[in-house]
Structure formats: structure tokens, C-alpha cells
């Protein structure tokens, strides 16, 4: 186990020690920080190097380490290793992650050769024992089928790394150096898919499919315009004659899971399978706009399924709210809301939106005259009053607003 991190709090380092993990220092000032907050150095320490510049492979530039916040420069690495050597460290590792989601197979062999040359120099100049080189992640997958011809061949990559090892490390008398890899995306991304249903259609300057997932379930398209293949279930082989933007319901225009995407004609109620979300889907999920994260279902090779993570509930959303008066109140409302929703879900769904499925406690004040307004009331007994939850659709909730009433009588609403 290895802790690779930056901006690391001392508590994380102490936990890593307790767990017996190797620590990977990201910055040259980490040894001093370690001595101050953790204590003596372990026998083995790794450092993350960032040689700067650009990282070039046969098919062009595939990374710009100089723009990355991670790692230390080569001169800093030398100084850090010398310091650690003089303070009891006996075995050293070097780690680098210089390009992400690479295709074509060049990255690992090139990186390996560069790092092998570096550690051979360091071992000779500093008279230290290099225990391992960690090539980290960076081996990508072709999210877009148009890139399929550049898919990584993992066996060829392994052979390329072996050639570099035999060319550089073995002649340097370093044939005992271990190699580590930390492949995330390559292993996991194709193993996950996001299943979502079309709940709205809209046509303005583009054709929109509104789905019941959003960027809170899959952040990559919003974060960096990432492409994820989408299949319309039941029409996987139909010609893609229409062009859609597939959008979620967040109040962010960037909440678009695909833009200008050719798809077969798609209709309300259709299920879309958004592919390759295993590495950065649910794990990057968040709760913006009060969105609750979905369940996760394991699909086994024999076709059977198992619920391995239940969907978040309103009470989960409020669970971390502090036990202040307003927090307790919101939790009570959320629990009741959840119960009302469960009751509704087990009943026959009605076609019309149901406003006010959860109402404020009647004794605490009158609801607004506007039936579409969120209900707000306040109580004279406390400086806080919480109320208002409404169900805009039997299956969809759109958030709870807590109204805080300050002592001067002013109101301020906070969306929770
Ligand atoms: C330190 C480290 N190792 C490994 C990985 C996995 O990388 P990949 O998914 O490209 O294999 C990451 C991903 O961000 C990382 O930060």
C-alpha cells in the first residue's frame, strides 16, 4: 500500500504509518513537515517527481507536467533523497504520473525509460538503494469508439517496459528494482455504466433529452468535456439519425452529459446506457442542488444482479447537519418527507405533480397564498424555523429550504 497525496495533513501521514503504507512525498518540504508532525522516517520512502516541460510520445505531446501541481523537480528530488539518506532512510522509491488517459501504448515504456535513467543516476550519485519505480496510472481507454484503433495493448506495453528495464537498469546493476503500477481507469472504467431514463424532451435551438441522472452522477463531461458513449437500450444498432444534447436537471448549463450527440431517435421513457463510468462516475458524485446519489447494482457474468449500494435518502443528505436546533428540525422534516415519499412510491403514481406532499407543521404558521411557492413559516418560540419541502413530482424532490429568522426579524433563506 502506498499513500500518494499532495497537501497532506499530518493525520493522514500518521494513519499511513499505522497501516504500514509506504509514503510518497509530493514536495521537497515534506520531510521537514514529517519530522515536525510525525517523527522518525520509515525505512522506505518514495518521492513523486515532476520533470516539467512536456511529455512527448511517438504520436505527439501527451502531457504537460509543467502545468501540474503534483510532484517535485529533479533537483528537489536529489536534495530530498540526500536529506532522507542522511536521516535514516534505507530504501527509496520514485513515482511519476505525467500524462492521463493516454492511448497508443507509448506512454508507459517512455515514462519507464525516463525514470530508469533518473534512478540509475540517483543511485550512483547519492549512493542509495532504489527499491522500486512506481509508474502510477495514465493508461487510458478509448471512450470514443473513433479512438478504438489506438486502444492500449497491455501486453505490448509490458514488453516495452521490459525492454527499457533491460536496456537501462540491468546494465546499471539494478536488476533488483521492483516495478509498481497503479492502473485505475484502464481496469475499472469499462466495468461501470450509468443507466438513466429519459424523463423530458425539449426542442429549442437544439434537441434536448432530459434524463433522471445529471452531472452529480457523472461529472467528467462537465468537468472537462469528456466523451462517454451512450447507447439507447433496445436501439443499439439503429442508425444515429438524430442529434441530441443529453442533459440533467442541475441549475448549471454545463450539466450536459453529451452535446450534439448523434443518436437513434429517442423518446420519453427510453433507457440510456452511458458507458465507461467505472473509474470516475459514482466516486466523483456530489450532492449539488440537493441531488441524491443513485444506487449501485452489480451485474455478474451470469446475468444475475445484486444491489451493492442503496440510493441515498433525504435523511442521508441531512445526516451530517449539526445537531443545532435548525439541524434537528430539518432532520425531523426529512425523515417525515422520506416516509411520505415511501408511502407515495408504494401507492399508484398520479399523473399530476403533487405540491406540498410534505407540509409544514400546521401550528407553526400559515402557508403562503401562492400554491407554487415553497412554504415558509416561522415560530415565535425559537430564532429558527424550518419548513418547506415540496414534492414537485411524485418521484422527484427538489430540495428543502430552511428559513432562518434572525433576532432582528430579518429573513434569509438558505437552500440546503
Ligand atoms: C496517484 C494516482 N495513481 C493512480 C491513479 C489512477 O490513474 P489512472 O486512472 O489513469 O490509471 C491516479 C488517478 O488520478 C492517481 O492520482
CATH code, domain with 291 = 2.40.37.10
For a pocket test of ligand 1, which of 1, 2, 182 has the largest count of ligand atoms closer than 8 A to its C-beta? 182
Residue the block writes with cell 506495453 = 157
Q: Which atom of ligand 1 is nearest to the CA of 279?
A: 9
What distance in Å separates the CA atoms of residue 6 and residue 24, rounded to the nearest whole number? Answer: 9
Cα 123 to ligand 1 centroid, rounded to whole Å: 26
Q: Which residue's CA is the nearest one to ligand 1's atom 4?
A: 137
pLDDT at 322: 74
Q: Which atom of ligand 1 is nearest to the CA of 24?
A: 1
- Residue 212 in this model has a pLDDT that exceeds 90: yes
- Residue 220 in this model has a pLDDT that exceeds 60: yes
Eight-state DSSP code of residue 189: G
The predicted model scores a pTM of 0.79
Residues 254 and 359 in one domain: no
Q: What is the band of 382 on the pLDDT scale with cuts at 50, 70, 90?
A: very low
Residues 138 and 54 in one domain: yes
Q: Which atom of ligand 1 is nearest to the CA of 48?
A: 1
Q: Which atom of ligand 1 is nearest to the CA of 187?
A: 11
- Residue 388 in this model has a pLDDT that exceeds 60: no
H or E stretch including 107?
helix 107-126
| Cα 403 to Cα 9, 11, 317, 356, 384, distances in angstroms | 36, 37, 18, 17, 7
Q: What is the mean pLDDT of residues 369-393?
A: 33
pLDDT at 366: 32
- Residue 12 in this model has a pLDDT that exceeds 50: yes
What distance in Å separates the CA atoms of residue 130 and residue 95, rounded to the nearest whole number? Answer: 11
Q: Which contacts (CB < 8 Å, 24+ apart) does range 5-11 have?
A: 6/69, 6/70, 10/37, 10/38
What distance in Å separates the CA atoms of residue 255 and residue 341, rounded to the nearest whole number? Answer: 26
- Going by C-alpha positions, the residue among 86, 92, 95, 93 that lies closest to residue 35 is 86
Cα 95 to ligand 1 centroid, rounded to whole Å: 11
Q: Which atom of ligand 1 is nearest to the CA of 188?
A: 9
Residues 66 and 167 in one domain: yes
Q: What is the mean pLDDT of residues 160-186?
A: 98
| Contact yes or no for 219/284 (Cβ under 8 A) | yes
pLDDT at 348: 57
Contacts of residue 179, Cβ cutoff 8 Å, sequence gap at least 6: 112, 132, 133, 134, 135, 161, 165
- Going by C-alpha positions, the residue among 180, 187, 178 that lies closest to residue 154 is 187
CATH number at residue 86: 3.20.20.10
- Residue 416 in this model has a pLDDT that exceeds 90: no
What distance in Å separates the CA atoms of residue 129 and residue 227, rounded to the nearest whole number? Answer: 43
Residues 149 and 50 in one domain: yes
133-147 per-position pLDDT tens digit = 999 999 999 999 999
Q: What is the mean pLDDT of residues 306-333?
A: 85
Q: Which atom of ligand 1 is nearest to the CA of 140?
A: 10
- Residue 44 in this model has a pLDDT that exceeds 90: yes
Q: What is the largest CA-CA distance in the chain?
A: 84
- Residue 282 in this model has a pLDDT that exceeds 90: yes
- What would the grid cell of residue 219 be? 461529472
Supply the mean pLDDT for the chain: 85
Q: What is the band of 321 on the pLDDT scale with cuts at 50, 70, 90?
A: confident
* Higher pLDDT pick, 358 / 295: 295
Cα 138 to ligand 1 centroid, rounded to whole Å: 6
Q: Which atom of ligand 1 is nearest to the CA of 189?
A: 9
What distance in Å separates the CA atoms of residue 348 and residue 183, rounded to the nearest whole number? Answer: 47
Residues 365 and 303 in one domain: no
Q: Which residue's CA is the nearest one to ligand 1's atom 14?
A: 137
Eight-state DSSP code of residue 29: T
- Residue 411 in this model has a pLDDT that exceeds 90: no
- What would the grid cell of residue 369 be? 397564498
pLDDT at 328: 76
Counting every residue written for the chain, the total comes to 416
Cα 93 to ligand 1 centroid, rounded to whole Å: 17
Q: Which residue's CA is the nearest one to ligand 1's atom 10?
A: 138
| Contact yes or no for 101/148 (Cβ under 8 A) | no
- Left, alpha or beta for 409 (phi > 0: left; psi -120 to 50: alpha)? left
Strand partners, 28: none
DSSP alpha helix (H) spans, 177-219: 185-188
Residues 329 and 181 in one domain: no
| Contact yes or no for 38/13 (Cβ under 8 A) | yes
DSSP alpha helix (H) spans, 246-323: 314-318
- Residue 122 in this model has a pLDDT that exceeds 70: yes
Domain that holds residue 204: 192-309
- Residue 117 in this model has a pLDDT that exceeds 50: yes
Q: What is the band of 233 on the pLDDT scale with cuts at 50, 70, 90?
A: very high
Residues 37 and 166 in one domain: yes
**Structural domains in the chain (count):** 3
- Residue 340 in this model has a pLDDT that exceeds 70: yes
What distance in Å separates the CA atoms of residue 205 and residue 115, rounded to the nearest whole number? Answer: 51
Q: What pairing do the DSSP bridges indicate for beta strands 178-180 and 256-263?
A: unpaired
Across 37-41, 155-159, 314-318, 371-375, least confident range: 371-375
Cα 63 to ligand 1 centroid, rounded to whole Å: 14
For a pocket test of ligand 1, which of 6, 97, 152, 278 has the largest count of ligand atoms closer than 8 A to its C-beta? 97
Q: Which residue's CA is the nearest one to ligand 1's atom 7?
A: 137
- Going by C-alpha positions, the residue among 333, 339, 341, 342 that lies closest to residue 375 is 333
Residues 176 and 319 in one domain: no
Q: Which atom of ligand 1 is nearest to the CA of 101?
A: 10
Cα 5 to ligand 1 centroid, rounded to whole Å: 11
Q: Which of 188, 208, 240 is the last residue of a domain?
A: 188
What distance in Å separates the CA atoms of residue 228 and residue 215, rounded to the nearest whole number? Answer: 12
Cα 100 to ligand 1 centroid, rounded to whole Å: 8
Residues 105 and 206 in one domain: no
Q: Which of 309, 344, 377 is the last residue of a domain?
A: 309
Q: Which atom of ligand 1 is nearest to the CA of 4?
A: 1
211 class by beta-carbon count within 10 Å (0-12 exposed, 13-18 middle, 19+ buried): buried
Strand partners, 4: 24
Q: Which residues line ligand 1 (CB under 6 A)?
A: 4, 97, 100, 136-139, 182-186, 279
pLDDT at 375: 36
Q: What is the mean pLDDT of residues 11-40?
A: 97
Q: Which of 154, 188, 222 is the last residue of a domain?
A: 188
Cα 16 to ligand 1 centroid, rounded to whole Å: 18
Cα 153 to ligand 1 centroid, rounded to whole Å: 18
Residues 178 and 217 in one domain: no
Residues 174 and 216 in one domain: no
User: pLDDT over 90 for what percent of the chain?
Assistant: 73
For a pocket test of ligand 1, which of 22, 184, 224 has the largest count of ligand atoms closer than 8 A to its C-beta? 184
DSSP alpha helix (H) spans, 130-224: 154-164, 185-188, 220-224
Q: What is the mean pLDDT of residues 366-371?
A: 37
Residues 352 and 222 in one domain: no
30: phi then psi, degrees, rounded to nearest 5:
-65, -40
Q: What is the mean pLDDT of residues 86-93?
A: 98
- Residue 98 in this model has a pLDDT that exceeds 80: yes
pLDDT at 361: 33
Cα 41 to ligand 1 centroid, rounded to whole Å: 25
- What would the grid cell of residue 345 be? 412510491
What distance in Å separates the CA atoms of residue 167 and residue 76, rounded to the nearest whole number? Answer: 26
Amino acid at each position: 500500500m502506498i499513500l500518494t497525496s499532495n497537501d497532506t495533513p499530518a493525520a493522514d501521514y500518521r494513519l499511513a504509518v499505522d497501516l504500514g503504507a509506504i509514503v510518497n512525498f509530493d514536495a521537497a518540504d515534506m520531510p521537514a513537515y514529517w519530522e515536525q508532525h510525525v517523527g522518525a522516517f520509515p525505512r522506505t520512502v518514495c518521492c513523486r517527481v515532476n520533470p516539467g516541460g512536456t511529455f512527448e510520445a511517438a504520436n505527439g505531446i501527451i502531457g504537460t507536467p509543467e502545468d501540474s501541481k503534483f510532484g517535485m523537480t529533479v533537483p528537489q528530488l536529489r536534495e530530498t533523497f540526500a536529506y532522507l539518506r542522511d536521516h535514516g532512510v534505507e530504501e527509496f522509491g520514485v513515482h511519476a504520473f505525467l500524462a492521463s488517459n493516454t492511448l497508443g501504448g507509448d506512454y508507459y515504456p517512455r515514462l519507464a525509460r525516463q525514470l530508469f535513467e533518473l534512478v540509475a543516476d540517483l543511485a550512483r550519485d547519492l549512493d542509495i538503494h532504489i527499491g522500486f519505480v512506481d509508474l502510477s496510472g495514465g493508461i487510458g481507454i478509448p471512450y470514443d469508439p473513433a479512438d478504438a484503433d489506438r486502444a492500449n495493448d497491455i501486453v505490448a506495453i509490458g514488453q516495452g517496459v521490459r525492454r527499457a528495464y533491460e536496456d537501462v537498469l540491468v546494465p546499471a546493476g539494478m536488476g533488483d528494482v521492483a516495478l509498481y503500477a497503479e492502473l485505475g481507469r484502464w481496469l475499472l472504467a469499462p466495468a461501470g455504466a450509468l443507466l438513466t431514463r429519459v424523463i423530458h424532451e425539449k426542442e429549442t435551438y437544439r434537441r434536448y433529452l432530459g434524463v433522471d441522472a445529471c452531472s452529480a452522477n457523472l461529472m467528467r463531461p462537465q468537468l472537462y468535456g469528456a466523451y462517454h458513449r451512450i447507447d439507447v437500450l433496445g436501439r443499439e444498432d439503429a442508425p444515429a439519425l438524430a442529434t441530441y444534447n443529453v442533459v440533467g436537471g442541475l441549475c448549471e448549463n454545463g450539466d450536459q452529459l453529451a452535446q450534439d450527440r448523434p443518436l437513434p431517435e429517442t423518446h420519453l421513457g427510453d433507457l440510456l446506457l452511458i458507458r465507461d463510468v467505472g473509474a470516475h462516475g459514482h466516486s466523483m458524485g456530489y450532492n449539488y442542488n440537493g441531488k441524491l446519489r443513485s444506487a449501485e447494482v452489480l451485474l455478474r457474468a451470469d446475468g444475475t444482479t445484486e444491489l451493492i449500494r442503496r440510493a441515498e435518502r433525504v435523511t442521508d443528505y441531512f445526516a451530517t447537519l449539526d445537531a443545532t436546533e435548525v439541524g434537528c428540525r430539518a432532520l425531523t422534516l426529512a425523515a417525515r418527507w422520506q416516509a411520505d415519499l415511501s408511502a407515495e412510491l408504494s401507492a399508484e403514481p398520479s399523473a399530476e405533480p403533487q405540491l406540498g406532499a410534505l407540509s409544514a407543521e400546521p401550528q407553526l404558521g400559515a402557508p403562503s397564498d401562492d400554491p407554487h411557492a415553497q412554504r415558509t413559516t416561522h415560530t415565535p418560540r425559537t430564532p429558527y424555523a424550518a419548513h418547506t419541502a415540496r414534492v414537485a413530482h411524485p418521484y422527484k424532490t427538489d430540495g428543502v429550504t430552511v428559513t432562518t429568522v434572525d433576532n432582528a426579524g430579518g429573513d434569509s433563506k438558505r437552500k440546503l
